[in-house]
Structures are given as structure tokens and as C-alpha cells.
Amino acid sequence: MKKRSLFLTFLLMVTVGLLAACGSSESSGEGEGDSGSSEGEGTTDFKVAMVTDVGGVDDKSFNQSAWEGLKALGSEEGLTEGEGFTYLQSQDESDYKTNLNQLIKRDYNLVFGIGYKLHDAIEEVAGQQSDKQFAIVDDVVEQDNVASIMFEEQQGSFLVGVAAAMKSESGKVGFIGGMESPLITKFEVGFVAGVKSVNPDAEVDVQYAGAFDQPATGKSIASTMYSSGVDVIYHASGATGNGAFAEAKDRKKNDPSENIYMIGVDRDQHEEGEVPGEDTNITLTSMVKRVDVAVQDVSKQAMDGEFPGGEVLQFGLDDEAISVATTNEEAYTDEIASKVDEWKEKIKNDELTVPKTQDELQEYVSSL
């Protein structure tokens, strides 16, 4: 697997002003970025677009991060939103292929499928459109006109597991997954391994919502977990996790003394943890996965005639593509930060290989 040296360069291009996702939702079930101008007029004929999974472009997580990457590219390259770069939003899985084909008919040069659930649609459409370029995030499509973008999610999940174990007072923490898959398993087992590395006796309650777009389910699962004594929950569930955040904030609002936290995913979800009307925040930290910069990186390569078609691009701690948010300085103490950094160095120095399957997790835990 090939690591991209350009990644760190593009990391510097992303600015705070680009962190708000925008767009409109159409009644047909497809969403598209509003037409408008970026900074300056378009300077290239290159056109790039993305198709979201069912979580939506404003999921405050995975899809939103990818859209931020395209917006950053548009600002940097003078592309016009709605023409030079855009997105289509999928309301259900039947929209994936339709949205991809629609963007191809509109002559977009490069089209991203955001999430492993678009694998089959990307594989089929890319096979039919060999003169077009495609990219998929979090899965591999073995075709010459498809770039596959992968991340070492288990590494960041391990580190937030360390933080969760140190913060927990009950010795019980939780993990909420969207849908069971090899990808989300990497989040789960990395987290459990991190927790157990700090406290081998800790209990980890693992539950799956069965969807990435069901905040009500996420809220219900979080309620059950907190009621059972869990005091820190890590989610890898897209928009479903918004419900878990809502439950934590409701509880903190009703009882400010309750010691409960959430751990965000993909983006720094610190803002999601702000309790309305209170000077407190329930986001302990977040496992930050720079989908935005990876999308911008691959787009820039395509613009420069260096599209990495047929390659699997692997991003992790070494590329600073995976990190742990430190925004909540009150909750994420210096002691926690120091311990997380210790484990981070072990991973980067190859002293520790973080498990990413259930079998590897069992082997790791048994060695503690």
C-alpha cells in the first residue's frame, strides 16, 4: 500500500473558514451543493464531485469532512461551487449508482464515493466509464480508473480508548457502531484494545445500531448504556451518533454533576458536545480522520495529471491523517494527553501493532 507524501502539504491548505458544510436538499431525494462562487472565478475545466452515503452531507462526521475537502479545493483552485465542484446526497442505497451516473453525464472528471457502502456502485459504474476517474473512501475497488483511500482507524481508536479508560470513574465504557463491517470492526477493536491497555479489568459495552442515519436509535442505545453505569461512549456511527450526543447533553443538562462523556469520530466533534445553556461540554475528545485532506489531495493529483488510479492510498498516524482532538482542555487533562502521547509513540515506532480484527484483539488482550 502506498502512502502519499503530498498529504502533509495539503494539510496546511485547510482553513477554519471552510469547516461549515453547506448545500441544499432536493425533494427528489438527491441533494446538491448550492450554485455560487468561490474565491475568484474558475481557472480550470477540471470538475470534481462526490456522492454521499445515507448519512448525508451534514452528518457532522464522515460525509461532512469529505465535503469540506472539496470546498477547500474549490477555494484554492478557484472552482465554482455547483459547477466546478458539487455533491449529490443519497437518501438510500438505491441512489448510489443513480447519483454516480448523473455526475458522469454532467461531465465531472473525478467522482468520489464516500464510504464503503458505495463499493458495488463504484465498481459497476467505473467499469462502464473507463475514461472517467473515480475514488472511493474506506474500501478498495481494483480498477485502473479508481483510487482507493484507506485509513488506519484502529490506531486513532486505540488512542481514544486510552483516554476513555483514564477518564472513566466507573470502569465501564461503551462503543456504538453504525453497521457491522470490517471497517467498523477496526474502530471497535482498536478502542477496546486501548481501553484494556490502561485498565485490563474495564468493561466495554459494544452495541450496533444497524444504520448510520438513525439518531433516535443512537439516543436510545446511549440512554441504556449510561443508565447501566457506562460513563464514556465512543461512537463510529455517522449521523446515528448525533443521537448519542443528544442523550449525553440531555442528561448533563438535567444533572450537571453526572460524570458522562462522548468521544467523537472523523471530525473534532467538540461543538456537538456543548450543553445548551450551560458552560460545559460532554465531548471528551474525538478520533480525527482527515477525510477532507485526503479528498483534497487526490483531487489535486488528478488536476495535475497524476491521478493515482489503481492504487490503494493508506493514511495513518505517520501521515498525521489520524489524530486525537485536544480541544476540551478541561476534560482532556494533561495527564490523559501525556499517556495518549506515550502510546502514540509506541505505535509510530512499531513497538505496538494495533489489532484490527476480533482474532487479533483476543490475542492482544490475552497478552496483557
DSSP of 321-335: -EEE----TTTS-HH
Residues 49 and 96 in one domain: yes
Residues 23 and 126 in one domain: yes
Residues 4-61 have pLDDT tens digits of 444 444 444 443 343 333 333 333 344 444 333 333 344 468 999 999 998 889 887 8
Residues 133 and 177 in one domain: no
Residues 220 and 360 in one domain: yes
3-state secondary structure 170-215: CCEEEEEECCCCHHHHHHHHHHHHHHHHHCCCCEEEEEECCCCCCH
pTM passes above 0.75: yes
What is the domain count for the chain?
Answer: 2
Residue 329: how many CB atoms within 10 A of its CB?
A: 9
Q: Is residue 71 part of a domain?
A: yes
Residue 177 pLDDT greater than 70, yes or no? yes
Residues 302 and 261 in one domain: no
What average pLDDT score do residues 130-143 get? 96
Please enumerate in sequence order all residues whose Cβ is within 8 A of that of 13, keeping only pairs 6 or more positions apart, or say none: 72, 76, 293, 296
Residues 235 and 338 in one domain: yes
pLDDT at 130: 93
Residues 141 and 183 in one domain: no
Residues 279 and 296 in one domain: no
Residues 308 and 279 in one domain: no
Residues 73 and 104 in one domain: yes
Residue 49 structural domain: 7-151+290-319
Which three three-digit cell numbers place residue 282? 460532554
**Choice among 43-52, 120-129, 323-332 with the minimum mean pLDDT:** 43-52
Q: Is residue 129 part of a domain?
A: yes
Q: CATH number, domain at 341?
A: 3.40.50.2300
Q: Is residue 328 part of a domain?
A: no
